[in-house]
Amino acid sequence: MKKYIVLVLFLLSISKIQGQWIKEKGKGYYKISGWSLLADEHFTDKGIVDPNATRGIFITSIYGQYGLSKRINLIGYLPLFVKNYQFAQVSQTNGKIYEPRQEFNGLGDINLAVEYGLKTTGKWILSSTLTFGIPSGNAAAGSDGSYQTGDGEFNQLVQFNVGSGYALGKQNLYIKSYLGLNNRTQGFSDEIHSYFETGTQLLKNNLLVLSRLHWIKSLYNGTLDASNANGTIFANNIESFTIGFESALNFGKNWGLSIALTHPLSGKVIYRAQSYSGGLFFNF
């Protein structure tokens, strides 16, 4: 079980390309960030919570969104450094190390996307996004192949995005959501993704606070066995329901800092632990 839980959390962590309001031609949003998770228990393939050896993953990444034209945005997510590790296993009776600490560092799976604005003005903003998941990470690393930095498959996620603004009293807020189908290769099951986010700006529009929900549902149509020819176990037929919170504070006209927290409310084959992230963003 432990051999594919880390992979699943990595897959969840790289799902950063989401439906946004279309950037104007020549304008962009860029972010350098770090994401971290450390866990000693997980949801099994039956959704039951079980303990596991303390394992973690840390990712340093660059995200960018650029307005290529009035309706077309280019989006990219590059996980430059992925650290997948497990603490040493020490006997509680005699203090003997029966399994040493292990880690693997490498490049993660790159996401490249194009977003097209279907309706860019008015009360409701509509767009569609096509994301390509490039298998640039290592799908079988470490002594047992379980310290992956990628999943080894080329996937395509098609999304329909919608967003709007609304008011609660004198406070202006926004909502945005998407529904997507993730086509996975190499015998992995396809997935349905749904997402909802709402937030508002405070402190004279210098502080953004938001909350989000993300649901992944497997279609159970894959052929991937529990292990491949190398003996590494991969995540297939995963499911998750997570809640997240984020705040972003502007320190200058075009830059600021953000921090975020995400927690799995339920799932299958994922860690039961909070993840934390922080980043430096730029608007041009």
The CATH number of whichever domain residue 201 belongs to comes to 2.40.128.130
- For the chain, percent of residues with pLDDT exceeding 90: 70
Per-residue pLDDT, 14: 43
Q: Residue 145 above 50 pLDDT?
A: yes
Residue of higher predicted confidence among 64 and 9: 64
Q: Residue 224 above 50 pLDDT?
A: yes
With respect to residue 12, please indicate whether it lies within any of the assigned structural domains.
yes
* Phi/psi of residue 186, nearest 5 degrees: 60, 30
Per-residue pLDDT, 234: 56
Q: What is the mean pLDDT of residues 85-112?
A: 87
240-262 pLDDT, tens digit each: 999 999 999 999 889 999 999 99
Per-residue pLDDT, 81: 97
- Residue identified by tokens 């203090």 is 95
**Predicted confidence band of residue 90 (pLDDT cuts 50, 70, 90):** confident
Per-residue pLDDT, 99: 81
- For the chain, what is the mean pLDDT? 88
With respect to residue 271, please indicate whether it lies within any of the assigned structural domains.
yes
Lowest mean pLDDT among 3-7, 71-75, 144-148, 249-253: 3-7
**Predicted confidence band of residue 45 (pLDDT cuts 50, 70, 90):** confident
Could you tell me if 56 and 39 are in contact, meaning their C-beta atoms sit under 8 angstroms apart? yes
Per-residue pLDDT, 232: 40
Could you tell me if 222 and 234 are in contact, meaning their C-beta atoms sit under 8 angstroms apart? no
Q: Which two structure tokens, joined as six digits, stand for 98?
A: 């029966």
What is the spatial distance between Cα 201 and Cα 179, in angstroms, rounded to a whole number? 25
Q: How many CB atoms lie within 10 A of CB 8?
A: 25
Per-residue pLDDT, 18: 54
pTM: 0.89
Instruction: Count how many domains the chain has.
Output: 1
With respect to residue 93, please indicate whether it lies within any of the assigned structural domains.
no
Query: Which residue range forms the structural domain that includes residue 239?
Result: 2-88+98-283
23-44 pLDDT, tens digit each: 999 999 999 999 999 999 988 8
CA neighbours within 13 Å on the CB side: how many for 144? 14
Per-residue pLDDT, 205: 92
